[in-house]
Structure formats: C-alpha cells, structure tokens
Amino acid sequence: MRRINNTNTILLIIIALLVMLLIFKNTTNYVVAQGDGNARHIFGVVGERLNNRQPFYLVDTNEETIMVYEYFQGGGLGFVAARSYKYDKKLQEHGRPYGMSIEDVKAEIIKAQAK
C-alpha cells in the first residue's frame, strides 16, 4: 500500500509541475529546481513577473504541501498562501472553480467512505 501512495505522490508532483510549465510556457522567466541531498523532496518554480511582483512556488512532497511566495521589488519576499494536497489527491473528481477548503475536502472523503 505504501508503494502505491509513493507512486501516486510522484505522479501528482509530475502533473503539478507539468501544469505549472504549461501555465508559464510562454514566458522566459520560469525556472524549475529540485533540491539536492536531504531536500530532494522539495521542488521550486519561479513564475512570470507581473509589474513589481514575481511568484515563487514550492512543492514539498514529504509534507504534501504547495506554498506560494511573491517577491516584491524593493520589499523582499512575502508569503502568499499554502495548501496541503494530502486530502485533495484522494478525490476522484472535483469541478468547482477555485477549489474547496481542506475541511470541505475531508468532509467529502468521510461522506464518500460512509457509503
């Protein structure tokens, strides 16, 4: 069972990175980096600069979390958002725009398991 979870995690990371690459494919400002040594489970993507802001995305596969930061020219790096995809990846299908809260995802999974 653990091997299936590891495979699903790897596939989810690949899909997330491909989606990010598709989003930023028309820019020359994106970079994908993978950690080395003890940080091999962390991936980073630099997004397209918009005015004086540039997004930076971190994906931590051990913690199953995606984090978003923005670099503000002259203001440094600021934290924007974070989300665990631990429960998201258990959904078979979801179509609401802009997603659900983690609590809503947990409730959907509990409801589906009760059937």
pTM of the model: 0.51
105 inside domain: no
pLDDT of residue 14: 75
Domain that includes residue 66, residue range: 2-84
Q: 5: closest CA among 64, 55, 58? A: 64
101 inside domain: no
Q: Based on the structure, what is the number of domains in the chain? A: 1
Tokens of 58: 């971190």
112 inside domain: no
pLDDT of residue 37: 65
pLDDT of residue 30: 47
Tokens of 34: 């993978």
- Is 41 within 8 Å of 60 (Cβ atoms)? yes
Mean pLDDT for back-to-back runs of 10 residues, the chain (115 residues): 65 72 54 61 81 86 90 86 88 65 84 87
110 inside domain: no
- Is 43 within 8 Å of 28 (Cβ atoms)? no
pLDDT tens string 31-64 = 555 656 666 778 888 888 888 888 888 888 888 9
104 inside domain: no
Q: Please tell me the distance from the alpha carbon of residue 41 to that of residue 58, in angstroms, as a whole number.
A: 10
